[in-house]
Amino acid sequence: MSALLLVAGVVVGVAFVFHHVVVRGKRCVSKAKLHGKTVIVTGSNTGIGKTTAIDLAKRGARVILACRSTQRGEAALHEVKMESGSNEVVFMQLDLGSLKSVRRFAETFLKTEPRLDLLINNAGVYMQGKTEDGLGLMFGVNHIGHFLLTNLLLERLTECGPSRVVTVSSVGHNFGTVDFDCLNTHKALGQGNSFTDVLKIYCDSKLCNVLFTHELAKRLQGTKVTCYSLHPGAINSELARNTSSLLQTLMKPVTSFFFKNTVQGAQTTLHCALQEGLEPLSGRYFSNCTVRDVYPKAKDAAAAKKLWELSERLSGLA
């Protein structure tokens, strides 16, 4: 019995250390205040996007909640104001799956807001489908929508420099590829609908995020705008809300223990947005509030340039 108690104690101890050290991870240590600064956070009606918005509002920033659903966005607006104690929070409708909506958002923002100091490309989807423009849904929302938004706002970001563009990617980018033949033929990263197909396409879209940031940094050289991509950690959030209810139920015990909550999951985003002295690391990829090396495919200059040029055509910028 004493041996069993000892083993149980060791297991509980290891689990405690794992959860509190590995799962929780590092925290953003920047004490930066953002009074007079304006921030856009896409997908900020839920998950780490909303938590990020609350933190930035607490620091004094004027925060634009850029969300697809008006109902959810207005509900989040009330919640962010309540939790941050700030009235400098605004909801603006943005559907990243619609190029028309992205252009309308940018036009409205540029007319009504004189500053932009920080753009956080946080929104993402995990499901198959098509955008209204005929793009693969994950490619269109996770990459093209943010690509167009960033480019439409770059001039304002440059005027207000030093400024930053932070794009939330995923460690899943390590398992991604960019199939340019499929993109040219189908305007999508893949065609399958099985569990593995959808997961693969999601990883592909996250690789696009890292390659986009790599190329963006090159194009921003000589300006006061820097950019970063990141893995927020495995988050117990609503990203998988479109998966089957059975899968969500089966995963609940796992996500509750092994996944970060949204406060923990927002820390690397906040680090990239706020930490002083990151300018020399523009274009790099971060995880657990630390810059990380990436595989050659995630910093392939030729692939990044090719993706950029294709994205210009598909988004109507070229």
Walk across the sheet containing 62-67 and list its strands: 89-93, 62-67, 38-42, 118-121, 163-168, 225-231, 285-287, 290-292
Q: Which helix (H) or strand (E) holds 206?
A: helix 195-219
> What radius of gyration do the chain's Cα atoms show?
20
* Rounded-to-integer distance, Cα 241 and Cα 218, Å: 36
Say if residues 92 and 66 touch (Cβ distance below 8 Å): yes
Residue type, 159: E
- List the one residue out of 273, 34, 284, 39 whose CA is nearest residue 156: 39
Backbone angles phi, psi at 299, to 5 degrees: -135, 25
> How is 144-201 classified by DSSP, letter by letter?
IIHHHHHHHHHHHHHHT-SEEEEEE--GGGGG----HHHHHHHSSS----SHHHHHHH
Residue 27: half-sphere exposure toward Cβ, Cα within 13 Å: 11
Active site residues: 202
Residue 1: CB atoms within 10 Å: 5
What single-letter amino acid sits at 131? Answer: T
Q: What letter represents residue 243's amino acid?
A: T
Give yes or no for a contact between 64 and 88, defined as CB atoms under 8 angstroms apart.
no
